[in-house]
């Protein structure tokens, strides 16, 4: 049976319930944003330790936002709208489910096959994938017209835009529902064509990989590489700090996926990236990456 670590209150019948599957860095951020806009949220993961980390992380982020006057209501009120569980069957009541599990096609297929028997007939499956074409993932579902890509940016609570990726079989009604949902959580959707990596990661992963190569080849230190992007181009965060935030293991999976699906060796991961992932230096999640945390 599923273990509820945070119980939802405020169960008004007229408030939609949104499912978020995957409680890693991105999933917990998405759950926080949705709950901050008065939706009830069910955050699901099959690892209890990840769920417990998510609960603590969401609370700390909400508290920090409140201290700096950026929060939407008290941290306790937002947290009260999030149910955290390892019971996948809890998504039966959700009108929209946002999927955030790692970029592993085998794991996604297994999850989607389970969701086929769990999702309500009109429930939208919003895929927060980094690189997989949405049509490829929608093929695992019995109702592919209800599958759409919603690529949130990290950290989800502070990024205004979301890439929206309909596949060639996504219905116009699904697109309208998702655009309305995103507006309701304070996000602006940008619709792009369904292709590996979409726009953001097709470009970003190359940038990160080349920044890693620059460090690998001794062109500059990680600090100096990021300083150039922040100081010269006005980026709020350099590519290597961004990689640490996303997770170097996720960067590696994304590059391998893009190389396979686009058939282009320019996405070949840098040796330094491969070695760091092997050594468990994954960025913020492991407290060590290109920078220490």
Confidence of residue 126 (pLDDT cuts 50, 70, 90): very high
**Lowest mean pLDDT across 73-87, 100-114, 198-212, 275-289:** 73-87
Average pLDDT over residues 249-276: 96
- How far apart are alpha carbons 98 and 102 in whole angstroms? 13
Domain boundaries, the chain: 17-191, 200-286
Taking Cα atoms as reference points, which of 60, 62, 53, 65 lies closest to residue 27? 53
Determine the pLDDT at residue 157: 87
Q: What integer best gives the mean pLDDT of the chain?
A: 92
**Residue 42 β-bridge partners:** 19, 83
Which stretch of DSSP H or E encloses residue 290? Answer: none
On whether the CB atoms of residues 83 and 61 are closer than 8 A, the answer is: no
**Lowest mean pLDDT across 36-45, 50-59, 62-71, 158-167:** 62-71
CATH of domain 200-286: 1.10.1040.50
- How far apart are alpha carbons 126 and 165 in whole angstroms? 9
Taking Cα atoms as reference points, which of 25, 23, 21 lies closest to residue 243? 25
Task: Please compute Rg for the chain using Cα positions.
Answer: 19
Determine the pLDDT at residue 180: 96
Confidence of residue 289 (pLDDT cuts 50, 70, 90): very high
Per-residue pLDDT tens digits for 195-245: 999 999 999 999 999 999 999 999 999 999 999 999 999 999 999 999 999
155 burial class (0-12, 13-18, 19+ CB within 10 angstroms)? middle
Torsion of CA 209, 32, 111, 245, to 10 degrees: 20
Q: Find the angle CA(161)-CA(165)-CA(169) to the nearest 5 degrees.
A: 155
Average pLDDT over residues 154-182: 95
Pick the CATH number of 17-191 from 3.40.47.10, 3.40.50.10800, 3.40.50.720, 3.20.20.70: 3.40.50.720
Determine the pLDDT at residue 16: 86
Determine the pLDDT at residue 15: 56
Average pLDDT over residues 41-68: 91
Which has more confidence, 64 or 178?
Answer: 178
Confidence of residue 5 (pLDDT cuts 50, 70, 90): very low
Determine the pLDDT at residue 9: 35
């Amino acid at each position: 049976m599923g273990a509820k670590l945070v119980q939802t209150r405020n169960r008004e019948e007229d408030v939609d319930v949104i499912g978020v599957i995957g409680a890693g860095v991105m999933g917990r951020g998405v759950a926080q944003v949705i709950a901050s806009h008065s939706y009830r949220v069910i955050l699901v993961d099959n690892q209890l330790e990840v769920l417990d980390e998510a609960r603590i992380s969401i609370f700390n982020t909400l508290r920090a936002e409140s201290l700096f006057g950026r929060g939407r209501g008290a941290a306790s009120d937002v947290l009260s709208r999030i149910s955290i569980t390892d019971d996948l069957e809890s998504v039966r009541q959700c009108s929209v489910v946002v999927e955030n599990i790692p970029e592993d096609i085998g794991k996604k297929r297994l999850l989607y096959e389970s969701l086929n028997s769990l999702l309500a007939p009109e429930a939208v499956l919003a895929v927060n994938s980094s690189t997989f074409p949405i049509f490829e993932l929608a093929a695992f579902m019995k109702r592919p017209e209800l599958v759409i890509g919603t690529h949130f940016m990290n950290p989800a609570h502070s990024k205004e835009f979301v890439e929206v990726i309909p596949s060639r079989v996504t219905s116009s009604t699904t697109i309208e529902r998702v655009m309305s949902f995103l507006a309701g959580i304070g996000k602006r959707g940008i619709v792009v064509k369904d292709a590996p990596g979409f726009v953001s990661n097709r470009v970003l992963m190359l940038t990160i990989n080349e920044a890693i190569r620059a460090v690998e080849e001794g062109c500059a230190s990680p600090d100096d590489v990021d300083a150039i992007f922040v100081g010269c181009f006005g980026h709020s965060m350099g590519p290597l700090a961004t990689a640490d935030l996303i997770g170097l293991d996720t960067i590696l999976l994304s590059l391998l996926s893009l190389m396979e699906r686009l058939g282009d060796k320019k996405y070949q991961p840098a040796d330094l990236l491969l070695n760091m992932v092997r050594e468990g230096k994954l960025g913020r999640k492991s407290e060590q990456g290109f920078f220490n945390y």
